[in-house]
Structure 1
Amino acid sequence: MKLSNEAKIGALTVIAVVLLVIGFNLLKGKNLLTRKKTLYAFYDNVNGLMAANPVRVNGLQIGSVSGLSVTNANANRIRVTLSIQPDINIPQNSVASIVSSDVLGAKSVVISFGNATVYLQNDDTIQTAPGTSLTSELMSNLKPLSGKIQDALTSLDTVLADIHTSLDNQTRDNLKSSIAELNTTMKNFSQVSDSMKVLVGNVNTITVNLKNNDDTINSILSNTKQITGALANANLKSTIEDLHKTVNRLNAIMGKVDSGEGSLGMLVNNKKLYENLESVTYNLNLLMEDLRLNPQRYVHFSLFGKKNKAQPLPAGQAGLSGDTLK
C-alpha cells in the first residue's frame, strides 16, 4: 500500500512538531522522557531568576527551574516550580535560596538540606529564605576592610600634612641641593662606568696579547724556574755565612780604626801625625821639582867642565838654599 504525498507530508509535520516540543522543553530544563519530582517555592523577589536555571545541592545540579508564576494580581508573591530528580530525597526542613552563580549575574536555586527524617514528596512546598548575591557577599566581605582603608587614608593624610609642615624653605632648599648632588653623582658614576668599559677593553686586549704570547711567557717561566732551581741548589747558606764573617771582620777593623789602634787608626785619629805627613808630602814634592829643574845641585858631572845656571822654581814655591828647604 502506497502512501500518498499528503500522508507523507502530514506524518513529517507531526514528527517535526513533536521534536520541536521536546526540544523546547529540553531548553527550558524539562525532560519529557524522564519523570521528575515537582516542588514549589514562594518568593517575594526572584532577583531575575528564569526558567531553566539550575537547582543545586552542595554545588551539584539536581534539577532545574521549570516555571515561574504570580499568585495574585499584585504580583507580590511569586511561585517557582522546581523539577527535581526523583531519586533525590530532600528533608522537609530544607531551605531553598536564590543566589548568583557567577560574576555575570546568572541565578540559581540552592537547596540547603535540613536534618529531618521525613522527606518532601511530589507537589510539596519547600521552605525559602532570602538569597545572597555574589555582589552582596563581596560587599559584606569588603565592609570590614572599608574602615581599615579609611583609617589608613586618614593616617596618610596626617603624614602628608606633617611632611608639608616640616618642609620649610630651608628644608626644601636642602632637598633640592641633595637632588642636584645626586644627579651629579649619577653623572660621575656614568663617567666612571665609561672608564670601566675602557679599562675592561684594555684588560681584554692584554688578555689577548698574553694569549698570543703564550709560548714566550712559557719560555720565560721555564727560564725563571731553572734560575730558581739553580739558586736553590747553590750553597747559599755557606756564602751567607762567609759574607757575615767578612762583615764582622770589617766591623772589627773599623772599630780598631775608630779607637786609634794601628797605623791607619793613628793616621785617622792623630791630627798632628796627619799634619806632619801632609808637610812631608809637600816638601817631598818641592824636592822632586827642584831635582828636576836643578839636577847639578845633586849630581856634579859635566862633559865639558861648564856649569849650568840654576833654574828658578815656579812662582809661589819655596826653593832650596844649600841643603835646606825653604
Structure 2
Amino acid sequence: MKISNETKIGVLTAFAITIMILGFNFLKGKTLFGTSHTMYAKYTNVQGLATSNPVMINGLQVGTVYSITTDKNMKEILVNMTLTKDVNIPVNSYATIKNNPLGTTTVEIRLGDAMQYLPKDDTIRTETSAGILDAAVQEIRPVLGQVKNAVKSLDSVLMTVNSVVDPNAKNNIRGILENLNKTTAGLTESSASLNTLLNTQTGALAKSLNNVSSFTGNLANNNDKLTAVMTNLDKTTTNLSNLDLQKTLTTLDATVTELKASLGKLNTTNGTAGMLLNDPKLYNNLAATANKINVLLDDIKTNPKRYISFSVFGKKNKSEPLKYPLPDTLNAPYIILQK
C-alpha cells in the first residue's frame, strides 16, 4: 500500500503539534510521564510572580507555577501550581509569595501541624508577605522611634546645659580646653621623645639592646671557659664537702684548750717558765749579775794591765779595782743585740 505525500505531511504535522504541546507543558512544569497534581492559591498581589516559577517547601522545590489568571476587576488573582512531588500538605498550611529582587520570585508553602491533608486540586490558604523593603521598614521603624525619642532627650539635655552654664562656667570650660590643648602638645613632645628613645638606629633603647646582645655574644663565645670555671668550682665544692671539717674543728678546739692551759701555767709560779716570768727574785738576780758584769767590764777598760800584761819587765798595776760601775754604765746595762 502506497502512502501519499499528503498523508505523510499530515502525520508529521500532528506529531510536531503533539511534541510542541508536550514541550510547552513540560516547560510550564507539567510532567510528561510522572505523577503530578494541581494546587490553587488566591492572592490580591502576586509581587511579580510568573509562570514556571518554583514552588518551595522547606527550601526544596516541589513544583512550579503553571498559570496565573484573574478577572477584569483585578481584585483576586488565581495561581495554578503543579506539584511534581507527592507530598502531604496539612489543611492549615499557608502559601506565601517570596519576592527576591536578586533572584526569582517563588511560592513558599509553610506547612501546618494538622493531621488532615489537602486533597488534590484543592485551594490552599494564603497570606500576604511583606517585601524586602517593607520588612526593612518594619524593622527600622522601632529604631527610628527610639532615635526620635533620643533626639528629644538630647535636646532637653542641651537646653538644660545652656540654662545652667553661665558666662563664668563657659570661661572655665574654655580654660579647661586650653589646658587640654597644652596637655596634648606635651603628649606630642613626649611621643617624639619616645620615638627618639625607640629609634632603631640612634635610640638609647637600641644601644642598650646592642650592648645586651654584645654581652650575650661574649657569653656565648666564652661558653667553654665558663663551663670549665663552673666545672672547677664544682670540683672545689665537692672537695670541700668531702673534707672532715668537724674533725678539723675538734682538733683546733683541743689545740686552743691546750694553749689556754699553757698560758694559764705561764701566769702562775708553778713550773720553770712560770717562775722565770713571775718570780721577782730572778729579775733581781739578773739585774745584780748585769751590774757586776758592768763593773768588771768597766774595770777592765780602766785598768787593762791588771788583767792583761804584754811586758816582761813591766810594772804591775797595784791600784784598787772598781767597786761601782762608771757613770756612763750605771743603771744602764749593756744590751746584747741578737742577730
Corresponding residue pairs, total: 290
Q: Where do 5+ consecutive residues of structure 2 fail to align?
A: 158-172, 316-321, 328-339
1:111 corresponds in structure 2 to: 109
2:325 corresponds in structure 1 to: 324
Alpha-carbon separation, structure 1, partners of 2:99 and 2:296: 141
CA offsets per residue over residues 269-295 of structure 1, 9 Å max, x none?
x9xx8xx98xx99x8998899799879
Q: Scaled by the length of structure 1, what TM-score is found?
A: 0.58
Instruction: Return the match for 2:254 from 245, 250, 262.
Output: 245
Please say if residues 257 and 265 of structure 1, whose CA atoms lie closer than 8 Å, have aligned partners that are also in contact. yes
- Is 1:81 aligned with 2:89? no
Superposed, which structure 2 residues align to 1:114-193 within 5 Å? 114=112, 115=114, 117=116, 119-122=118-121, 124-133=122-131, 168-169=180-181, 171-172=183-184, 175-176=187-188, 179=191, 182-183=194-195, 186=198, 187-193=203-209
Range that drifts further, 174-183 or 29-38: 174-183
Superposed, which structure 2 residues align to 1:10-89 within 5 Å? 22-23=22-23, 25-34=25-34, 36-72=36-72, 77-85=76-84, 87-89=86-88
- Return the offset for 1:243: 1.6
CA offsets per residue over residues 226-269 of structure 1, 9 Å max, x none?
8458634xxx54443232132234445667889999578769xx
CA offsets per residue over residues 60-112 of structure 1, 9 Å max, x none?
3321112334533x7565432211247444455532111257x9343221123
CA offsets per residue over residues 92-147 of structure 1, 9 Å max, x none?
5532111257x93432211234538473442x433321124566657756777788
Q: Where do 5+ consecutive residues of structure 1 fail to align?
A: 308-320
Q: What is the aligned-residue identity percentage?
A: 31
Please say if residues 29 and 65 of structure 1, whose CA atoms lie closer than 8 Å, have aligned partners that are also in contact. yes
One-letter identity of the residue aligned with 1:107 = T
Please say if residues 41 and 125 of structure 1, whose CA atoms lie closer than 8 Å, have aligned partners that are also in contact. yes
1:231 corresponds in structure 2 to: 243
Alpha-carbon separation, structure 2, partners of 1:265 and 1:149: 116
Q: What is the Cα-based RMSD across aligned positions, in Å?
A: 5.8
Please say if residues 55 and 63 of structure 2, whose CA atoms lie closer than 8 Å, have aligned partners that are also in contact. yes
- Alpha-carbon distance change, 83 to 237 in structure 1, aligned in 2, over 3 angstroms: closer
Please say if residues 62 and 85 of structure 2, whose CA atoms lie closer than 8 Å, have aligned partners that are also in contact. no
One-letter identity of the residue aligned with 1:200 = T
- Alpha-carbon distance change, 56 to 178 in structure 1, aligned in 2, over 3 angstroms: same
Alpha-carbon separation, structure 2, partners of 1:291 and 1:10: 191
Please say if residues 48 and 107 of structure 1, whose CA atoms lie closer than 8 Å, have aligned partners that are also in contact. yes
Alpha-carbon separation, structure 2, partners of 1:224 and 1:132: 92
Alpha-carbon separation, structure 2, partners of 1:98 and 1:82: 12
- Alpha-carbon distance change, 149 to 181 in structure 1, aligned in 2, over 3 angstroms: farther
- Is 1:98 aligned with 2:97? yes
Please say if residues 95 and 128 of structure 1, whose CA atoms lie closer than 8 Å, have aligned partners that are also in contact. yes
Where 1:168 maps in the other structure, the secondary structure is helix
Q: Scaled by the length of structure 2, what TM-score is found?
A: 0.56
- Alpha-carbon distance change, 183 to 81 in structure 1, aligned in 2, over 3 angstroms: same
Alpha-carbon separation, structure 1, partners of 2:269 and 2:133: 118
Range that drifts further, 200-209 or 47-56: 200-209
- Alpha-carbon distance change, 225 to 121 in structure 1, aligned in 2, over 3 angstroms: closer
